[in-house]
Structure 1
Amino acid sequence: MLLKYKLVWGLTLVYALLIGCKKDEAIAQAPYTIKSPLTQRILDSAGVMAQVFSDTLFEVAPGIKETDIHYLSREGYSMRAFILEVDANHPGLLLQAGTPYNAAAYAMQTVPDMAKYIEKPGYKVLAGVNADFFNTSTGEPRGIYVRDGVVLKTTWANARSATFMGVLKNGKPYIGDRQDFLAVQNDLEDALGGGPMLVRDNQILTQTDLSVEPRTGIGMNAQGKMYFIVVDGRSFYYSNGCTITQLGQMLKACGSTIAINVDGGGSSTFMIKHPLADVWQVRNRPSDGTNRAVGNAWMIISQ
């Protein structure tokens, strides 16, 4: 009788395990429903994603949407990307070059601390990302620098400092290279330098830098849509980073017809004024383990 009971119990256990395994397999194979159109565009056309594990889409403020993506890269690595889609034509939104202590002098400060010095009644900082490469001793930017219509720096540190993003005096955003800067510098209200051009005339440009790192990129199209992206890296189980070519592929997939790489590594910072709490929140995980003090940033302002 005892042997019969053990046999029945054993068969029941095996059956339960088999059913459990089939349920687990069904769950694992269940297709994930993508929430953000940007996630779908990148998955369909960028050639960087093998599988999307999860994504979120929400409105930071009118005219500003955030997409967060956890995905498996084509190389088989865990990845996290954070994207702001900004309608530069939305009434009341503007872009400002953020600087430490909201001053023209060279220095270093975290992106959330820069926001504290910029914000004032009727002038609300809604989001910010790090910008130009900089001298880590002095905070001097590697590229050009224009603030409040005054051209403060026209030199470039090296060949990698090849581009800039600016805001024209009519409020329109502008992305260009060194030659473009010579042509428009007197029409700029604000401008900060950048690294390699990633996309131009809707074409992805060939890059020689094949390193895999945390990255920050900025892109836009002729219709006034802007895309700010941070891809985290240097953390095997969380996010491994990408090449600047892959960054360009993602920005083009989002809709950018022109895009640049800006400072990355431990500088990569993706901050928003959270819609559910009146606090500035860094949404990504900077690879230093804490927010790095940087030379400058781009801020999205509501007024």
Structure 2
Amino acid sequence: MHRIKLFSLLSLLYFTIASCKKDSQAQVPHVTIKSPLTQRMMDSTNIIAKVFSDTIFQISEGVQETDVHYLSREGYSMHMFIIEADMNNPKLKLEAATPYDATPYAMQTVPDMVKYINGPNSKVVAGVNADFFNTTTGEPRGILVKNNKVLKTTWFNDRSSTFLGVKKDGKLFIGDRAEFAAMQNDLEDALGGGPMLVKNNAMLTQTDLTIEPRTGIGLNEQGKMYWMVIDGRSFYYSNGITITQLGQLLKACGATKAINVDGGGSSTFMIKHPLAEVWQVRNRPSDGTNRAVGNAWMIISKP
């Protein structure tokens, strides 16, 4: 009798485990990689263990968005958002945005900044948060050039060490403090950034090992610009990454130069939705709502 009961219990356990295994496998279907950027990141880094979803679509002429939900090698859920913009397209322009499109310093959410610069001849198609800032006054930690005016040339600390600029000939440039000092009068717009992640197509060593929501910006020599936001601080949704990993992912996408900009609750990835007359924040800022920030970058589509 005891042997019969033991056999029954073992049989029940076997079928339960087998059933759970089948259910688990059924919950994670095979995903066809659609975005070339996702494939490059999988091939060139050791960051992505498994892709749960991969979406690519065109926001406007020359601007594409890639969204990736993946499992990290450490076993954490992650959500990533990428803009790939062909800035050789004559209809596209990168513009520095500040709160209320004015100075002195202030703070405003990225979607609210759009309202002050969007117009019939300057359609905002995408926006992302930019420099670190004083959370009381909105003063950026790095430099500021807007509309051909050099408004700030000082740097707050060692972390404020880079910038992204739009030269007066329309070309984009990522550089350091020395390069800004040499070319500041040749810039139409420029906003500061944090550490340089990639330079001359090589990864740079980082001392910041923290895991946070991140925003990064990269350029390559063919005129492509990459924005990347990876959400964090939410265990079941997205857990964040290090800035070294951010640089690795941007380099894998194609960036030969890349910088880290403000992250954490400031990370904001916004687009003009191609199917509706709205500006939509695509990521989930970790504050639970859109944070008012010191400045932002906007991609403008011209007629």
TM-score band, normalised by shorter chain: over 0.9
Specify the alignment match of 1:10 in structure 2. Answer: none
Q: How does 1:12-91 map to 2 (within 5 A)?
A: 24=23, 27=26, 30-91=29-90
Q: Deviations over 1:203-256 (max 9, x none)?
A: 011000000000000001010000000000000000000000000000000000
Q: Deviations over 1:56-106 (max 9, x none)?
A: 000010100000010111111111110000000112100000100011321
The aligned amino acid for 1:295 is G
Question: Which ranges of structure 2 fall in alignment gaps of 5 or more residues?
Answer: 1-11
Query: Contact conserved, 1:104 with 1:147, CA < 8 A, in 2?
Result: no
Alignment partners' CA distance in 2, 1:122 and 1:105: 26
Question: Helix, strand or coil for the counterpart of 1:176?
Answer: strand
The aligned amino acid for 1:78 is S
Alignment partners' CA distance in 1, 2:208 and 2:286: 20
Question: Helix, strand or coil for the counterpart of 1:57?
Answer: strand
Q: How does 1:40-189 map to 2 (within 5 A)?
A: 40-189=39-188
Question: Helix, strand or coil for the counterpart of 2:184?
Answer: helix
Specify the alignment match of 1:274 in structure 2. Answer: 273
Deviates more, 1:254-263 or 1:47-56: 47-56
Aligned length: 291
The alpha-carbon deviation at position 27 of structure 1 amounts to 3.2
Question: Helix, strand or coil for the counterpart of 2:111?
Answer: helix
CA 1:58/1:182 → structure 2, altered by over 3 Å: closer, same or farther? same
Question: Helix, strand or coil for the counterpart of 1:212?
Answer: coil
Question: Helix, strand or coil for the counterpart of 1:300?
Answer: strand
Q: Deviations over 1:119-161 (max 9, x none)?
A: 1112100000000000011100000000111111100000000
The aligned amino acid for 1:172 is K
The alpha-carbon deviation at position 17 of structure 1 amounts to 7.8
CA 1:140/1:26 → structure 2, altered by over 3 Å: closer, same or farther? closer
Deviates more, 1:158-167 or 1:39-48: 39-48
The alpha-carbon deviation at position 264 of structure 1 amounts to 0.3
Q: How does 1:184-199 map to 2 (within 5 A)?
A: 184-199=183-198
CA 1:203/1:18 → structure 2, altered by over 3 Å: closer, same or farther? closer
The alpha-carbon deviation at position 25 of structure 1 amounts to 5.8
The alpha-carbon deviation at position 29 of structure 1 amounts to 6.7
Alignment partners' CA distance in 1, 2:202 and 2:171: 22
Deviates more, 1:38-47 or 1:247-256: 38-47
Question: Helix, strand or coil for the counterpart of 2:112?
Answer: helix
The alpha-carbon deviation at position 23 of structure 1 amounts to 5.3
Specify the alignment match of 1:6 in structure 2. Answer: none
CA 1:23/1:74 → structure 2, altered by over 3 Å: closer, same or farther? closer
Specify the alignment match of 2:238 in structure 1. Answer: 239
Question: Helix, strand or coil for the counterpart of 1:115?
Answer: helix
The aligned amino acid for 2:247 is G
Question: Helix, strand or coil for the counterpart of 2:37?
Answer: helix
Alignment partners' CA distance in 2, 1:134 and 1:168: 23
Query: Contact conserved, 2:31 with 2:54, CA < 8 A, in 1?
Result: no
Q: Deviations over 1:157-198 (max 9, x none)?
A: 000000000100011111000011012111100000000000
Alignment partners' CA distance in 2, 1:287 and 1:38: 25
Alignment partners' CA distance in 1, 2:245 and 2:165: 24
Query: Contact conserved, 2:209 with 2:242, CA < 8 A, in 1?
Result: yes
The alpha-carbon deviation at position 24 of structure 1 amounts to 3.5
Question: Helix, strand or coil for the counterpart of 1:50?
Answer: strand
Q: Deviations over 1:19-55 (max 9, x none)?
A: 9667546535753211111111111112211111111
Question: Which ranges of structure 1 fall in alignment gaps of 5 or more residues?
Answer: 1-12
Query: Contact conserved, 1:143 with 1:161, CA < 8 A, in 2?
Result: yes
CA 1:71/1:22 → structure 2, altered by over 3 Å: closer, same or farther? closer
| RMSD between superposed Cα atoms in Å | 1.9
The aligned amino acid for 2:240 is G
Alignment partners' CA distance in 2, 1:88 and 1:28: 40
Specify the alignment match of 1:286 in structure 2. Answer: 285
Alignment partners' CA distance in 2, 1:24 and 1:183: 61
Alignment partners' CA distance in 1, 2:83 and 2:163: 19
The aligned amino acid for 2:87 is A
Alignment partners' CA distance in 1, 2:298 and 2:118: 10
TM-score of the two chains, using structure 2 as the length reference = 0.92
